[in-house]
Chains A and B, each alone.
Chain A
Amino acid sequence: MIILNNINFFFNSFFLIYACALFGLYIFIAIYSSLELRFYMNKNKNVDYKMMLSFERLPSVSVIAPAYNEEKTIIENIRCLLSIYYPKLEVIIVNDGSTDNSLPKIIEHYDLVKVDIAVNDRLATAPIRNIYKSRNSAFANLIVIDKENGGKGDSLNAGINVSNSRLFLAVDVDCIIEPYGVLRMVKPFIEEEGGKVVIASGGVVRIANSCEIKDGKVVKVNYPKSFWAKFQVLEYFRAFALGRMAWSRVNGLLIISGAFGMFDKERVIKAGGYDVHNVGEDLEMVVRLRRYMHEVEKVKYKVSFIPDPLCWTEVPSSFNNLARQRNRWTRGAIDTIFKHRKLFLNPKYGMMGLISYTYWVFFEWLAPLIEFAGLVYFGCLLIIGQVDPYIFLVLTLFVYLFSVMFSLFAIFFETYTFFKYKGLHYLRKVIWFALIEMFTFHPINMLFSLKGNFDFFFRKNKKGWGKMNRTAFDANKE
């Protein structure tokens, strides 16, 4: 009995301390992010981004968009990318060995011809079959690369090889980018806050499901109709508005969304380009780039973050697609964590080694595993009759109300800052989804993550992407 009590005490204490640390960190990050976001809003309130168009010293930018079997949306997607306002912009579409009609469609619509382009193959990639440019001068800044299938990272590497610019913006081809999105992303690179070299900047990605899209622009923001996408709106609010801003401020940002991230091209090449074997190439790229800065260049640098919603993307709206996406994210994160284990609590890597990486290990990778262990432990206690219903209810209420409060704060902050969703209907729905999230989306997400762990450690397919079905943007769908 004494042994059982000791075991109980150990586990109870462990779970309580872990939960308190997690909640404490969430609150701290949220408050810090909010203050930082307010500063950002005040700072940029009177900035006229159009003025930047007349700047004489602006870095050139290549938008690199890998595409795989995107025939339903590819024409509209490219039109959107071509409509971005930036004086020195080239758009590189990388057809990653699509098996559908993506390429013939692009060739026909944009009047493309094969060109004998000089490729600077500093990064190894799958063989490039052909490179195309348009005969129509309206699309003079469009380059289409047709290559053999090699995955997203490989496609981005091919795009980097062909790019003629100083910076590149890695995007998902189905993203809708705000017209001044690139200008805003470039700003930190030329602003050089605190005299630091900016090596990358990330932007906020918002959910385009059910939004009205016209001529490559989001004209009306709607709350998604899909059950799963509704939860992801909340999730994106929390992750982008209440998380990354704080990490960026302490210069500890480890992830820039693969759907929308800008990088210093030369530094990415020197760091070795994207890891083609990692399915979480966005996280891995940032970690490696930061390591390169610490180990090789050894100068003050910054990974910047822009909190304005600049990019809209379609998120998984079906259970299966969501499962595949989360599984891939988990495997990518574990792969990155193991590959860069040298960083763990290593003061040589500054904030990244001591705080950010350690946070990722304990609170991003291990959190679902510890949560699952907690549930198993609770089940055992229930079986042997060691659960006090009163304490159980209090603890459950505590966790539940914290999660609800955190989500409601994220909703409030979105309304206070960017106010993209306006209807009362949205407000009612999003509050309702915040109330039910803990008993619906959250446990399912945990299971996806567990499956990702299982697949990574016990299955051979740790590098697979899984199939994601695309639908053309349509507000009435779902």
Chain B
Amino acid sequence: MIALKLKIRYWGARLLFFGFFALLIAIIFFFKISELNIIGLKITNPLYAYTADLEWWLYLLMYFIFVFFINSLIFIVFTIFIRNYKIRSKKRRKKYERIFTDKIMELIYNNSEKSSSIITIEDKISELNALAQKSYTKIILLNILRKIHAQAKDEVRMKAAEILKKMKLDNFIDIYLHSPYFRDKIFAMKIISEFELGMSDIFEFEAGGHPEYIIKLTKKRNYVLRSEAFVSLIKLAIHDDLSFLLDRELHVSIWDMNIVLKIFKDIKNNNINYTQLIESDSPRVAALGVLLANKHNKTDLKEIIFKKIGSKDGLLNFEAYAAFISMANNETDYNFFIEKFSKEDFIIKKAIVKSFANCPSITLSKAFMIYVIEEESLPLKVEAMKILVQLDINRVNEYKNSENIDILKARNQIVDFNLN
């Protein structure tokens, strides 16, 4: 029923839109003829006496005046209608958000405290189900559950998933996944991937077929839909080797990189083929590979990563340096780094110096900062001094009597900013 409603709404709106335009065009012809005969039904043009003798351009002007007038009225009526609808729906949404949040929190809290009986929990679920009869209430409920599941940990997270399971909303989610509106598909994919519907232990018996359909969505022309489908598949551990990124047609944006990074932030045991990613032809995919290898501390990939230093692609180059900063641990590495660094342009240099704030080796960091302060331009000296002040304040003080004016300037700036 919901599926049918969605389809009617989707196609109905389009039909109405085109019907309206068709009507506007039909009117042009109608008012120029005396009578219209549609399957035996005669419609007389009441304005024929007036329009028959009008010159064509004047007739067109009259026609447009009529259209503009009608449209103006329509827009006024629609504005009032939409205004009232939005006010009503906002109130309604707020009301249900409050009710659902209270009920869910009560359910999770009582459940985790194990203070209520199974019957009470079932009753509360029934209560929730009774409240979430309409589509919009179900959407509100699902969004609340999704947010709780995404933000909470351990038991509370589990409880949120169990509530969803007990509410038996799989069919509803499935309908939204197959909805003609892409916003509904995105909504459904977010729920499916968050709760790993059809994949996790809790949901393995329900909602089969989601991944297959989501895979189809990765081929869509709509880039938003495609991107969301990939994220869902990664979350569902279907594309968690990230091999799909090697597809030459696919552009990986910084946004995508952040999303992937967020998903894999804490998952060190995964199926990612780092080497394949790092050696990809696409600099963006290679940068992501380096970034992930760095995050997951894959020191065995040091050699391949170092080869990417000096890459023409700014981001890949930077990520390779950042990985080096985390992985380098001997003098050879350091010398290699200094040699490459001195050839870089200002922006990359600045980003590298900044990223040394996260370097695990204090000795390496200190040596590098001193090198930058003594050898590089003023803005870089300032950046290096900022980090050095955290590592060795005495060393910064030693620059007080430096004969190099730029070093003095950088030191004064840092002292002014950080110590006063």
Contacting A416 at CB < 8 Å: which of B82, B378, B406, B416?
Answer: B82
The answer to the question of B156 belonging to the interface, with a C-beta cut-off of 8 Å to chain A, is: no
B254 A190 Cβ-Cβ under 8 A: yes
Is A113 on the interface with B (CB-CB < 8 A)?
yes
Q: Is the CB of A115 within 8 A of B416?
A: yes
- Write out the residue numbers on chain A whose beta carbons fall within 8 Å of the beta carbon of B413: 115-118
In the complex, the chain A residue whose C-beta lies closest to that of B418 is A140
Inter-chain contacts of B78 with A (CB < 8 A): 412, 416
Specify which of A115, A398, A415 is in contact with B79 (CB 8 Å cutoff). A415
Contact of B223 among A194, A424, A431 (CB under 8 A): A194
Contact with A along B254-282 (1 / 0, CB 8 A): 11011001100000000000000000000
In the assembled complex, how far is the CB of residue A183 from the closest CB belonging to chain B, in whole angstroms? 12
Asked if B371 is an interface residue, CB under 8 A from chain A, the answer is no
Instruction: Provide the bound-state CA to CA distance between A405 and B412, in Å.
Output: 63
Within 8 A of B (CB), among A373-417: 391, 394-395, 397-398, 401-402, 404-405, 408-409, 411-412, 415-416
Interface segment out of the listed A40-48, A93-101, A222-230, A439-447: A40-48
B58 touches A394 (CB 8 A): yes
User: Which B residues are CB-close (under 8 A) to A45?
Assistant: 183, 186-187
Q: Does A46 contact B72, Cβ atoms closer than 8 Å?
A: no
| CB–CB A401/B65 < 8 A | yes
Contact between chains at A266 and B347 (CB < 8 Å):
yes
B61 on the interface (CB 8 Å rule)? yes
Let me know if A42 and B251 touch, CB within 8 A.
no
- Among the listed A46, A192, A398, A431, which residue makes an inter-chain contact with B183, where contact means beta carbons less than 8 Å apart? A46
Contact of B224 among A43, A116, A409 (CB under 8 A): A43
Closest chain B residue to A42 by CB distance? Answer: B183
With an 8 A cutoff between CB atoms, is A191 at the interface?
yes
Chain A residues within 8 Å of chain B by Cβ, number: 49
Q: Would you call the interface of chain A mostly helix, strand, loop, or mixed?
A: helix
Residue of B nearest to A114 (CB): B416
Assess whether B75 is interfacial by the CB under 8 Å rule: yes
Bound together, the chains give a CA A248 to CA B181 distance in angstroms of 24
Bound Cα distance A430, B320 (Å): 57
A461 interfacial contact with B, CB 8 Å? no
Contact code string B353-385 (vs A, CB < 8 Å = 1, else 0): 000000000000000000000000011011000
Does A427 make an interface contact (CB < 8 A)? yes
**In chain A between 131 and 157, which residues have their CB closer than 8 angstroms to a CB of chain B?**
133, 135
Taking the closest CB of chain B, its distance from the CB of A288, in whole angstroms, is 21
Point out which of A189, A266, A412 has the most chain B C-beta atoms below 10 A from its C-beta: A412
Return the chain A residue nearest B143 by Cβ.
A46
Chain B positions within 8 Å of A402 at CB level: 64, 68
Tell me which of B75, B253, B381, B382 contacts A192 (CB under 8 A).
B253
B163-181: CB near A (< 8 Å → 1, else 0) gives: 0000000000000000001
The verdict on A55 contacting chain B, using a C-beta distance below 8 Å, is: yes
Residue contact B61 to A408, C-beta cutoff 8 Å: no
Partner of B71, one of A56, A405, A419, A431: A405
Smallest beta-carbon distance B155→chain A, Å = 23
Which residues of B, 376-420, contact A by the 8 Å Cβ criterion? 378-379, 381-382, 406, 409-410, 412-413, 416-417, 420
**B82 lies within 8 A of A415 (CB):** yes
Query: What's the nearest-Cβ distance from chain A to residue B81, in Å?
Result: 9
Which residues of the partner chain A approach B64 to less than 8 Å between Cβ atoms?
Answer: 398, 401-402
Interface assignment of B3: CB less than 8 Å from any CB of chain A: no
Closest beta carbon of chain B to A89's beta carbon, Å: 15
A6 at the interface (CB under 8 A from B): no
Task: Tell me if B69 counts as interface (CB < 8 A to partner A).
Answer: yes
Q: Is the CB of A194 within 8 A of B262?
A: no
A177 to B114, CA, bound (A): 47
Determine if B182 is an interface residue (Cβ-Cβ < 8 Å): yes
B420 touches A113 (CB 8 A): yes
- Of B58, B65, B378, the residue contacting A397 (CB under 8 A) is B65
Instruction: Encode contact with B along A47-69: 1 for CB under 8 Å, 0 otherwise.
Output: 00001101111100000000000
List, in ascending order, chain A residues with CB within 8 A of B258's CB: 52, 55-58, 190
- In the bound complex, how far is the Cα of B347 from the Cα of A52, in angstroms? 24
B411 nearest in chain A by CB position: A116
State whether the Cβ of A320 lies closer than 8 Å to any Cβ in chain B. Answer: no
Check if A469 is an interface residue, CB within 8 A of chain B: no
Q: Known contacts being A193-B223, A419-B83, is A135 close to B420, with CB within 8 Å?
A: yes
Q: B residues touching A (Cβ–Cβ < 8 Å)? A: 58, 61-62, 64-65, 68-69, 71-72, 75-76, 78-80, 82-83, 86-87, 181-183, 186-187, 190, 223-224, 251, 253-255, 257-258, 261-262, 291, 347, 378-379, 381-382, 406, 409-410, 412-413, 416-417, 420
25 sample A-B contacts, Cβ–Cβ < 8 Å, listed by A number = A43-B182, A43-B183, A57-B258, A113-B416, A114-B416, A115-B412, A116-B412, A118-B379, A120-B378, A190-B254, A191-B254, A394-B58, A395-B61, A398-B61, A398-B68, A405-B75, A408-B71, A409-B75, A411-B79, A412-B78, A412-B82, A419-B82, A419-B83, A422-B87, A431-B76
Seed contacts A408-B76, A419-B86; 7 additional CB < 8 Å A-B pairs: A42-B181, A46-B190, A115-B412, A115-B416, A117-B416, A412-B82, A427-B83
- Lowest 6 CB-CB distances: which A-B pairs, in order? A401-B68, A190-B254, A195-B251, A408-B75, A42-B183, A55-B258
